[in-house]
Chain A
């Protein structure tokens, strides 16, 4: 496995394709593990989202301004399409959580294509882990509160309407689904999409740059690499929005499952 620092040192000895090292940005204050780009971006996203929505919601007018309308559209989307339509009549309790989840993931994802920032925070696996862990805790907590610990676990392990011998197969699968697969897939899906997307952009941008330094023939090929990079940027934007949507939608679905009378 190659190292990021090494890439810097041997730049002109052939093309070094981007890899995991490109995500391991060194802290800008030596030895301070909090002074890194992803951490800065996470806080920046909190600042951006807070300021935007506080300004948008400040007046809460019946006839909204453009800013309020923009904020309301995003909030209304999460509230109605992800909250009300999925969870049902109890949805209002979970709207703040779903709303935070969606905006936080969306903004941090989109950082991946914002000029000068160009780093998706969620390609650092720690952040998806944290979010998946919170969702994991939230939906199990809701389930236990609603049904009581014993009957909640019974509901997960013994699905009604299944022949008794089938429980040998189904119970372990269900337990694995609820306690391992769900948080794992939730976090890894988000992480892997952002990681791969950023890597893809790096390949075409750094590749184009490298081709530009080559012989005349390679110089001519170089623009195509940049064109692909631009096209992929648009594609990435779609993926970034989609991943924020999917993460929030699945959280809403898990909450619905935990609230339901039968699992």
Chain B
């Protein structure tokens, strides 16, 4: 009974085979439709929802990296410019300082020279004026002495003559008095 059933199954299968060619190169309509639909579906999903997102991520990343590099380059350029500027300013300042020192030295020397000349002149002037004053005073002293000595001599002589000059004591007293009078007159 079982063998008969089995044989019948085989027969049915063979009949099926005769109807349906088993050439693997023959496509099936339903699979072609599904293949096309499935592929189109996937294409639309990936195109709409995936590719733009990934592209955005790529673009953002490139932007971030490139932007960072550009910023760094800019900063470097600025730093270099600042350095050059500082250096030139420094050398300018050095030159200027040198110049100022030179000028100061020259000026200092000139001032010293001038001062010295002035001092010498002043000294000379003071010396000469002092000498003139001394000379004038001496002259005046000589003049006054000359007149006073005459007067005094006459006065003394008259006094000596007027008084009797008895003794030594008296003489000296007269001289002392005379001198004291002189003192008072002064």
Q: Is A103 in contact with B51, judged by CB distance below 8 angstroms?
A: no
Given A46-B41, A95-B51, A125-B25, CB of A3 within 8 Å of CB of B34: no
Q: Is B38 in contact with A46, judged by CB distance below 8 angstroms?
A: yes
Contacts of A56 in B (CB 8 A): 50
Q: Is B64 in contact with A62, judged by CB distance below 8 angstroms?
A: yes
The chain A residue with its CB closest to the CB of B30 is: A33
- Alpha-carbon gap, A36 to B60, bound state (A): 44
Task: Give the contacts of A12-26 with B (CB-CB under 8 A).
Answer: 20-21, 23-24
Kindly state the interface size class of chain A when it binds its partner: 35 or more
Given A20-B23, A38-B31, CB of A96 within 8 Å of CB of B43: yes
Q: Is A53 in contact with B35, judged by CB distance below 8 angstroms?
A: no
Q: Is A64 an interface residue (CB 8 A)?
A: yes
Contacts of A58 in B (CB 8 A): 53
Kindly state the interface size class of chain B when it binds its partner: 35 or more
The smallest C-beta distance from A8 to any residue of chain B, in angstroms, reads 8
Contacts of B46 in A (CB 8 A): 49-50, 53, 96, 99-100, 103
- Alpha-carbon gap, A100 to B50, bound state (A): 10
Contacts of A92 in B (CB 8 A): 55
Given A3-B14, A20-B23, A39-B30, CB of A49 within 8 Å of CB of B51: no
Q: Is A57 an interface residue (CB 8 A)?
A: yes
- Alpha-carbon gap, A79 to B50, bound state (A): 12
The chain B residue with its CB closest to the CB of A74 is: B54
Given A5-B16, A103-B42, CB of A126 within 8 Å of CB of B57: no
Given A3-B13, A97-B43, A131-B39, CB of A60 within 8 Å of CB of B28: no
Q: Is A60 in contact with B43, judged by CB distance below 8 angstroms?
A: no
